[in-house]
C-alpha cells in the first residue's frame, strides 16, 4: 500500500521555534519553475513562481527529490495523490481547512468555499476559508486550486487565475 500524505502542523511550529535551516530545490513544470522548501523531515512550502530566500540552502535532499518526482508525475497525469510529509505553518483554523480540503476533495473534483466551510464545521466561514486557502504554503499538495466560488466560478487563487485554471484542466484531463 502506498504511503499517505501527512500534515503535521505541530512539527511546523516546533521547527519554526527551533530555527531549523531550510533547504530548497527548483522543479521545472509545464506551468513554470516552482520551488520546493524543506525544513527538518518535512516539505513546508511550494512556491508556485520559483525563487529562494537568502537564508535558505540550495540542495536536493532525498525528500526534495521525492517531492520533485511526485510533482513531475502529477503534471504528467500519472499521480492523483501525494505521499509526502507536510508541515504547513498556520493558525489552527487554517490547518483545519487545509486538512479538510486534503482529505475530502479528490483529484478532478471541486468544492465551493461555503461547502468547505461546512465540512470544517463552520458553515458561515466561507470568506475565512478563502483566506486560509490564499495563505496555503503548500498549493497543489494541499489542493486549494480545487476550491471554487458558488456556482462554479473560479474565485481567487494565490498563484493567479490562469494557473488555477490550468491545474483544474490538467485534473479534468484536458
Query: Catalytic residue positions?
Result: 144
**Which strands, in side-by-side order, build the sheet including 32-39?**
6-7, 85-86, 42-47, 32-39, 22-29, 56-58
Buried-state track 100-113, b at ≥16 Cβ within 10 A, e below 16: bbbeebeeeebbbb
Residue carrying C-alpha cell 507536510? 86
Residues 6+ apart with CB under 8 A from 171: 107, 108, 146
Amino acid at each position: 500500500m502506498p504511503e499517505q500524505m501527512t500534515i503535521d502542523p505541530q512539527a511546523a511550529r516546533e521547527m519554526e521555534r527551533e530555527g531549523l535551516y531550510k533547504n530548497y530545490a527548483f522543479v521545472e513544470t509545464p506551468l513554470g519553475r516552482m520551488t520546493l522548501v524543506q525544513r527538518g523531515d518535512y516539505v513546508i512550502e511550494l512556491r508556485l513562481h520559483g525563487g529562494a530566500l537568502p537564508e535558505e540552502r540550495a540542495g536536493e535532499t532525498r525528500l526534495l527529490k521525492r517531492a520533485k518526482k511526485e510533482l513531475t508525475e502529477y503534471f504528467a497525469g500519472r499521480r492523483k495523490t501525494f505521499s509526502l510529509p507536510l508541515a504547513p505553518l498556520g493558525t489552527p483554523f487554517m490547518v483545519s481547512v487545509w486538512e479538510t480540503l486534503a482529505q475530502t476533495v479528490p483529484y478532478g473534483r471541486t468544492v465551493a468555499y461555503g461547502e468547505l466551510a461546512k465540512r470544517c464545521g463552520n458553515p458561515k466561514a466561507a470568506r475565512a476559508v478563502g483566506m486560509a486557502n490564499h495563505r496555503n504554503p503548500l498549493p497543489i499538495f494541499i489542493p486549494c486550486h480545487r476550491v471554487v466560488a458558488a456556482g462554479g466560478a473560479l474565485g481567487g487563487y494565490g498563484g493567479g487565475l490562469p494557473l488555477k485554471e490550468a491545474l483544474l484542466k490538467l485534473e479534468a484531463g484536458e
